[in-house]
Amino acid sequence: MAVLLSAGGLKPLRSLVRALPDELPGAVVIAQHAAAPSILTAILAADTRLPVATAETGLRRDPRGVVPAPTPKSRDDDKARKRREAEARQKRSVKLGPLEKTVAQLEDRISALEAEQKARSAELADPTVYDEAARRNRLLSEYQAASDKLEELTARWEAAMAELEAAKAEL
C-alpha cells in the first residue's frame, strides 16, 4: 500500500497507522511532501507495533511494516550545493592553475633539452667529430651549456612541484 500526503496530512496519517492490524501482510510506503523522514519515522513508530524504518537505497528489510520514504532535497539545496562546488573549483583553479602551468612548462622545456642532449651525445660518440676542432668545441660547449640549463630547470621544477603539492594540501 502507498500513502501520499502533503505537509498538513500528519493527523490523518497517524489515524491510519494506528488502525493498521499488527499482522499486516505487507508494507505501507509513505511519501509526505516537505517532511523530515527521521521525524516522521519517530512519530509513526509511537503509533503502531509494526516495524517502522525509513526507506533507504539497498536496505534489505522485513517486507511488512511502515516505511516513510526519504524526502527529496529541494532545488534550492541543490543550487546551493552546486554553487559551493563551483566556488570550490574556481578557488582551486585560481590557486593551482598558475602552479600547474609552470610545472608543465618546465617539464616541456626539460624534455626538449633532454632530447637535444641525446642528439649531442650521439654526435659526440662519433670519432670523426674529434677530427674537426671547431665542431668538437662547439658540441662540447653546447653540451655543457645544456647540462647547466637542465640542472637549473630541474631545480626550478622540484621547487615548483613542492609548491604545487603544498598548495594542494592546503585545499
Q: Higher pLDDT residue, 117 or 28?
A: 117
pLDDT at 35: 46
Q: Which amino acid is at 85?
A: E
pLDDT at 37: 52
Per-residue pLDDT at 30 exceeds 70: yes
Strand, helix or coil at 131? helix
Q: Where are the alpha helices (DSSP H) in 64-132?
A: 75-124
What average pLDDT does range 160-168 have in this prediction? 96
Per-residue pLDDT at 76 exceeds 70: no
**Across the strands, what pairs with 52?**
66
Per-residue pLDDT at 34 exceeds 70: no
What is the grid cell recorded at 32? Answer: 509526505
Backbone Cα Rg of the chain: 35
The proportion of the chain whose per-residue pLDDT surpasses 70, expressed as a percent, equals 88
Which of the four pLDDT bands, split at 50, 70 and 90, describes residue 75? low
The answer to whether 33 touches 5, Cβ cutoff 8 Å, is yes
Per-residue pLDDT at 62 exceeds 60: yes
Please state, in angstroms and rounded to a whole number, the distance separating the CA atoms of residues 26 and 78: 34
**Across the strands, what pairs with 30?**
3, 68
pLDDT at 77: 73
What is the grid cell recorded at 159? Answer: 621547487
**Across the strands, what pairs with 67?**
29
Please state, in angstroms and rounded to a whole number, the distance separating the CA atoms of residues 129 and 111: 25
Rounded to an integer, what is the distance from CA 90 to the centroid of its chain?
A: 14
Which of the four pLDDT bands, split at 50, 70 and 90, describes residue 74? low
**Hey, what domains does the chain have and what are their CATH numbers?**
2-68 (no CATH), 75-170 (1.10.287.380)
Please state, in angstroms and rounded to a whole number, the distance separating the CA atoms of residues 19 and 7: 21
In which element (H, E) is residue 65 found? strand 65-68
Q: Higher pLDDT residue, 27 or 153?
A: 153
Question: What's the pLDDT tens digit per position in 97-115?
Answer: 999 999 999 999 999 999 9
pLDDT at 38: 58
